[in-house]
Amino acid sequence: MNNKLPFGDEPVLVTGSAGFIGFHVSRALLSSGFRVVGMDNLNDYYDPALKLARLELLHSFPNFTFNKISLENREEMRLIFEKNSFQWVIHLAAQAGVRYSLVNPHAYTESNLTGFLNILEGCRQAKTKHLVFASSSSVYGGNTKMPFSVQDGVDHPLSLYGATKRANELMAHSYSYLFQIPSTGLRFFTVYGPWGRPDMALFLFTRSILQGKAIQIFNHGNMQRDFTYIDDIVEGILRIAANIPSGDDSWSSEQPSPESSSAPYRIYNIGNHQPVALTTLISLLEQELGKKSEREFLPMQAGDVPATFADVESLAQDTGFYPKTPIQEGIKQFVRWYLSFYKV
């Protein structure tokens, strides 16, 4: 973990602290002695028992406090910022998932748009020193040029989820420009690892293999993902948190670069920059579980993209960090956790 974090004795607000990434970030900060104020609404998008198990671990640290709050609750959000005047905010809470946005679109506008506005307003009132927020590789939408670069335009989202994440980037920029709030958006690429989300492919595949059920593989198996191990995501987030943006003097309004600005604002990809075929992932899972899968090949799902591939040169240039965990090691660590946690 980066030892040059600037937080000192000031509390760090981590939203989504009972979620997959938020839990790992909170635990890393707490393990290094920093104070963390966690926030989550503990909704039932997936099994709340898993969220409560994560929280139980975080509560073992004396420097952790937790608040059950929904982002869209304007008054509660105002009060928590007023009480704590957070100088450091790592915003990881959101309504996640591409396919679920076809079923319950209002959950995305409430959490990801209204909720994010409440975060921005809190940061404005507190004069926050740095807001780091989660975006997603889903913003690349209809782009097909590989690898996906932060210098590319991202104006063709293929899902409402991706559209809300792109909206977050634009909202954050406007607040950075208007109120000089240093803000950094991080486009995560298919995060996986221990304590992961049960709605993600790795979790679903593992459960199906162990139960002897067929794995559903979309686009007839022609899918690639830039699977990024959770430890690399955490390292990237914390390095970025210590790298407070300022206005880019070389930014040109005549040829505007999407990744930076004259305002204190930046965008980065965090991915393993090594796409892996879904069928390769399944084969590695079979190897670790010692059991073959049954496979059901299906057409592409609405909102999905056939491949993701992150260009992380900007991240490496500004932080000296490349995500590097091999997929074989990441799968091994996930399976070890899964078998232990679920007592298989």
Distances (CA, A) of 5 to 25, 39, 266: 13, 21, 18
| Crossing angle of the two packed helices 160-179 and 115-126, in degrees rounded to 10 | 20
Pick the catalytic residue: 161, 192, 268, 338?
161
Q: State the distance between the two ends of the chain, measured CA to CA, in whole angstroms.
A: 32
Residue 274 corresponds to which tokens in the numbers above? 């090594």
Pairing of strands 214-217, 294-297: parallel
Residue 263 corresponds to which tokens in the numbers above? 């305002």
Residue 161 known to be catalytic = yes
Cβ of 279: how many Cβ atoms within 10 Å? 15
Nearest to 19 by CA among 159, 191, 160, 168: 191
Residue 9 corresponds to which tokens in the numbers above? 């004795």
Residue 344 CA to residue 341 CA, distance in Å, equals: 8
Q: Is 187 helix (H, G, I), strand (E, B) or coil?
A: strand
Strand partners, 184: 132, 266
User: Which residues are the active-site residues?
Assistant: 161
